[in-house]
Chains A and B, each alone.
Chain A
Amino acid sequence: MSVKRDEVLTADPAEPAGAAALLEVRDLRIRFTRGGRRVHAVNGLSYRLDAGQMLAIIGESGSGKSVSARALLGLLPSSAEVSGSARFEGAELVGMPEREIRRRRGRDIAMVFQDPARSLNPTMRIGAQITEAIRAHSGIGRKEADERAVELLKLVRLPAAERRFHEYPHQLSGGMRQRVVIAIALAGEPRLLIADEATTALDVTTQAQIMQLLVELRERLGMAVVMISHDLGLAASYAQHVVVMYAGRAVEYASARRLFGHVRMPYTQALLGAVPLLEREPHAPLPVISGQPPDPAAIPKGCAFRPRCASATGRCEQAPPFSEHEPGHWWACWHPAEDPPGGSGGSGGGGENGATR
């Protein structure tokens, strides 16, 4: 069913077309000053997300994906300078006064973090941590909030919800804790849930369960999801659209189906190549992307991927524009890759999974 949506979609990361987007990020830039050093964490990120959709933001650690997500909630330290625009249902989030953005946290946009062992308060009962989120946005009484919290725990399919309500985080397993964190995020009935590496700290089986839960909740509650991950395979399996980030910039954007059949940006291609595959020869060396991601304090001029790119030429010293080269497919590269001979869909790991979800 998501197939159809992908075909019709005029995915437009920078310019609104048709119906208003739920979230529209345009040329977002985030800069930190630490001890006199200027660190450019995000250098112009644009994407668009419609209500009820799932978007994956993919990138290596340090590519600015988490920082850009936290910026949407105003959760960056005061040393961060944010510019550009991020509109949620038309309201500008960048530069929004703290008081106003606090009212939106949890109610418009909620967030689930990477490490469920660290994202819950170890000294508070599970129930209290959820009711706190419920009562932050509604005037309902203690008793009602308790009942609602148990409902939420059931919604995220935590076994023995009534008993868990009274327990502490350390009494739960990693997967159960992440379900609790998701229940907290759902407490304010948000229209957008940002899952920041929400399954990275979990084992593979639990990871699949949590992703499944997120997909189910998205469908049931009509809530949009931004999933931040370094795992392209995961993105391919669950998201409708994918933004690939490199050194704080969006370098490729397309529907998941299109992206995995027709990769254009060499960096995305390299990421796909680095996914371990069972089909490969046993003991064959894993392909890796050579070199290091650039230091965010000293990002090279022009295309930031240039030093690690096999296709780089002198032209790459000029920054390639991030624009829509093919319908619904955006990229920033002077030397985009060609479609592999022999048709689409075979270029990378997990490409076929895109249709199943």
Chain B
Amino acid sequence: MTAVAAGRHRGVGGRLFASPSVRLVGKRLLMAVPITLGVSILTFWVLNLIPGNAAQQLLGADATPEQIRAMELQLGLDKPAPLRYLDWLGGAVTGDLGRSLVSGQSVAGQLGERLAVTGELVAMAFVVSLLLAVPVALLAAYHPNRFFDRLSMFVSVTGLSVANYVLALVLVLVFAVRFAVFPAIGFVPLSESVGGNLHSLVLPSAAIGIPMFCLYTRFLRGDLVDQMQGQDYVVTAQAKGVGPWQVLLRHAFRNSSFGLITVVGLNLSTLIGATVIIEQIFALPGLGQLMLQAINTRDMAVVQACVVVFAVVAVLANLLTDLLYAVLDPRIRYGSR
């Protein structure tokens, strides 16, 4: 092997910047900047179009125009919108996302707490659904159209046809109301109790994760069956005399994983939308809940920050997808002929 290994890496350092994957990451990171900027401008503009502002919301319906005017001055709402945007941008670039117009608290501080809750929720739903989907899809694709395959397809089509907020209510009805094994609402911070924390997140993450599991299973099973039945390299592998599981895992699954990564990457950004609703239903103090409250109180600084965070997460998810391709797919890693 040593003699053979000699030809492996020649001038790794010199090739680093010529490497297609490094260039790819650079390009994607550069593209993330205008995307984030665009999203923040769009949000600012749309929020500006909504009638009513924070001053009116804070003072209530009885406030006189003079009071409102004074409040607007105090909050800086009297300045023209482009100027306010530039103010915000100047702060945001240096890491200062401003203060909440309503509570006066630092937006960045609020976001941090909330982001941890949402992040945990998404991570739990994501990891469990993916870890379950892969073996189920593999088992289903091993014997297509047999009982297990049909059962898993029935379950995943059903799961995909149910909206996640309906699923959430059904889960609450069964596991919180009828059997009382999990709490219907509320959140236990990780710092308080690890077990309690996980316990409180089971139902919300199931509501998000079950449709994801169904989507991944359905996609991966379909792609695996396509690879097994339609690809010549599978026949080559079979003709070598290797066993069926080895053909499925080493050959078909490796190639199917690229498709799965695409689906997961796209799905991860739509997932953020799901958290907004699910956090509302389960009263979780996450980012989605914060954003909804802020929209109701016209707390521009908070809404703006939330939307930008969501945009950055979506961009990062896509970047990660591309990166994973570059790591896993040798055709990208080494460039094409």
Chain A residue with Cβ nearest B10: A163
| Cβ–Cβ contact A105 & B232, under 8 A | no
Digitize B227-269: 1 where CB-to-A-CB distance is under 8 Å, 0 elsewhere. Answer: 0010111011111111100100011001100000000000000
The answer to whether residues A170 and B337 also contact, given A113-B232, A123-B255, A143-B1 and a CB cut-off of 8 A, is yes
B196 → A minimal CB distance (Å): 43
How many chain B residues touch A (Cβ–Cβ < 8 Å)? Answer: 32
| Cβ–Cβ contact A122 & B241, under 8 A | no
Contact of B4 among A119, A121, A150 (CB under 8 A): A150
Does B17 belong to the interface (CB within 8 Å)? no
Chain B residues closer than 8 Å to A107, beta-carbon distance: 241
Does B6 belong to the interface (CB within 8 Å)? yes
The answer to whether residues A111 and B239 also contact, given A77-B229, A121-B251, A122-B331 and a CB cut-off of 8 A, is yes
**How many angstroms between the C-alpha atoms of A133 and B336 in the bound complex?**
26
The answer to whether residues A75 and B4 also contact, given A105-B240, A106-B241, A188-B241 and a CB cut-off of 8 A, is no
Chain B residues closer than 8 Å to A123, beta-carbon distance: 254-255, 328-330
B319 → A minimal CB distance (Å): 22
Does A252 belong to the interface (CB within 8 Å)? no
Does B7 belong to the interface (CB within 8 Å)? yes
Chain A residue with Cβ nearest B230: A118
Determine the main DSSP class of B at the interface with A.
helix
| Cβ–Cβ contact A118 & B330, under 8 A | no
Chain A residues closer than 8 Å to B238, beta-carbon distance: 73, 75, 105
| Cβ–Cβ contact B235 & A113, under 8 A | yes
Does B45 belong to the interface (CB within 8 Å)? no
How many chain A residues touch B (Cβ–Cβ < 8 Å)? Answer: 47
Does B178 belong to the interface (CB within 8 Å)? no
The answer to whether residues A119 and B1 also contact, given A110-B239, A124-B250, A132-B242 and a CB cut-off of 8 A, is no
Digitize A111-152: 1 where CB-to-B-CB distance is under 8 Å, 0 elsewhere. Answer: 101110011111111010000110011000011001100100
| Cβ–Cβ contact B240 & A124, under 8 A | no
Chain B residue with Cβ nearest A145: B1
Contact of A119 among B5, B8, B232, B243 (CB under 8 A): B232
Does B334 belong to the interface (CB within 8 Å)? yes
Does B3 belong to the interface (CB within 8 Å)? yes
The answer to whether residues A162 and B242 also contact, given A119-B235, A168-B330 and a CB cut-off of 8 A, is no
Chain B residues closer than 8 Å to A171, beta-carbon distance: 334, 337
A5 → B minimal CB distance (Å): 29
The answer to whether residues A124 and B254 also contact, given A102-B243, A163-B7, A184-B236 and a CB cut-off of 8 A, is yes
| Cβ–Cβ contact A166 & B7, under 8 A | yes
User: Which residues of chain B (74-129) have a CB below 8 Å from chain A?
Assistant: none
| Cβ–Cβ contact A121 & B1, under 8 A | no
Does A104 belong to the interface (CB within 8 Å)? yes
Contact of B233 among A122, A165, A185 (CB under 8 A): A122
Interface centre among B233, B254, B334, B336 (most CB of A within 10 A): B233
Contact of A136 among B5, B241, B254, B329 (CB under 8 A): B241
| Cβ–Cβ contact A133 & B240, under 8 A | yes
**How many angstroms between the C-alpha atoms of A300 and B231 in the bound complex?**
32
Does A214 belong to the interface (CB within 8 Å)? no
| Cβ–Cβ contact B240 & A188, under 8 A | yes
Interface centre among B251, B328, B336 (most CB of A within 10 A): B251
Does A103 belong to the interface (CB within 8 Å)? yes
Chain B residues closer than 8 Å to A181, beta-carbon distance: 236
Does A226 belong to the interface (CB within 8 Å)? no
Chain B residues closer than 8 Å to A105, beta-carbon distance: 238-241
A282 → B minimal CB distance (Å): 37
Chain B residue with Cβ nearest A125: B330
Digitize A156-194: 1 where CB-to-B-CB distance is under 8 Å, 0 elsewhere. Answer: 000010110110101101000000010011011000000
Chain B residue with Cβ nearest A110: B239
| Cβ–Cβ contact B233 & A121, under 8 A | yes
Chain B residues closer than 8 Å to A146, beta-carbon distance: 1, 4
**How many angstroms between the C-alpha atoms of A341 and B268 in the bound complex?**
77
- 9 more CB-based (< 8 A) A-B contacts, given A121-B255, A184-B240: A75-B235, A105-B240, A111-B236, A121-B233, A127-B4, A132-B237, A136-B241, A146-B1, A173-B337
Q: Which residues of B does A touch, CB under 8 Å?
A: 1, 3-8, 229, 231-233, 235-243, 246, 250-251, 254-255, 328-331, 334, 336-337
A–B pairs, 15, beta carbons within 8 Å:
A102-B241, A102-B243, A121-B236, A121-B251, A122-B255, A122-B331, A124-B250, A124-B254, A132-B242, A136-B241, A142-B1, A147-B4, A162-B7, A166-B4, A188-B240
